Amino acid sequence: MTQSKGLRFIGITGGVGAGKSTILSYIRENYPCEIYLADEVAHEVKKAGTPCFQALVELLGKDVLGEDGEIHKGRMAAKIFADDTLLEKVNAIIHPAVKTYLLERLQEAKKSGKVSLFFVEAALLIECGYGELVDEMWYVYADESVRKKRLMESRGYGEEKVAQIMAAQLSEEEFRRASDFVIDNGGAPEEAYAQIDARLAGLRPAMTWKDQNGR
């Protein structure tokens, strides 16, 4: 199965609650791929001992550390909340490190030739300049009212919290303009999966690992 015609580097973006994680779970189970969530990578690259960790402790002070010696999420958030200028500085440290990490993984995946798809997911991919890095940008779309309902049900978010997150994200029009492919996830998940299968026609193995092993 090494008739790979190269690796497709795909960005998955969309507003909160649009269904990015749901869609990636489907892709993970059905396609030969590697998937990275930018938030998880950001967590990884600032662990103790990394250059990012060093730079963040210098910027924010040692009291940003938790008892375990790692950067404490809540303490970092409190500092950023108290000083408007810090968010930009923190992002200037973390974002390039995330990109470097992903591009290294991408090179490894290309070399190994084991997968045909390489995904990175984040709500902020477009703002962070990933449009220029990926081969394709996919936008997961669902109407605001649908997303609001799903988030209030599944994550227990209040109306105000949902509105606040949405206000900080790109508008539907901005997402669409910067994307190559739109997945409409306003209906049943299976309808979204069918759109993905059509887009990735030919890449799905006849038998997945799950089919063969029954789990």
Interface residues with ligand ADP (CB under 6 A) are 14, 16-22, 150, 154, 185, 188-189, 192
Q: What minimum distance in Å lies between the beta carbon of 133 and ligand ADP?
A: 20
Q: What minimum distance in Å lies between the beta carbon of 192 and ligand ADP?
A: 6
Decide whether 85 or 154 has the Cβ nearer to ligand ADP. Answer: 154
Decide whether 79 or 150 has the Cβ nearer to ligand ADP. Answer: 150
Region of 49 (left: φ > 0; alpha: ψ -120 to 50; beta: rest) is left
Q: What minimum distance in Å lies between the beta carbon of 151 and ligand ADP?
A: 6
Decide whether 52 or 179 has the Cβ nearer to ligand ADP. Answer: 179
Instruction: Please enumerate in sequence order all residues whose Cβ is within 8 A of that of 2, keeping only pairs 6 or more positions apart, or say none.
Output: 113
Decide whether 7 or 140 has the Cβ nearer to ligand ADP. Answer: 140
Q: What minimum distance in Å lies between the beta carbon of 14 and ligand ADP?
A: 5
Q: By beta-carbon distance, which residue lies closest to ligand ADP? A: 154
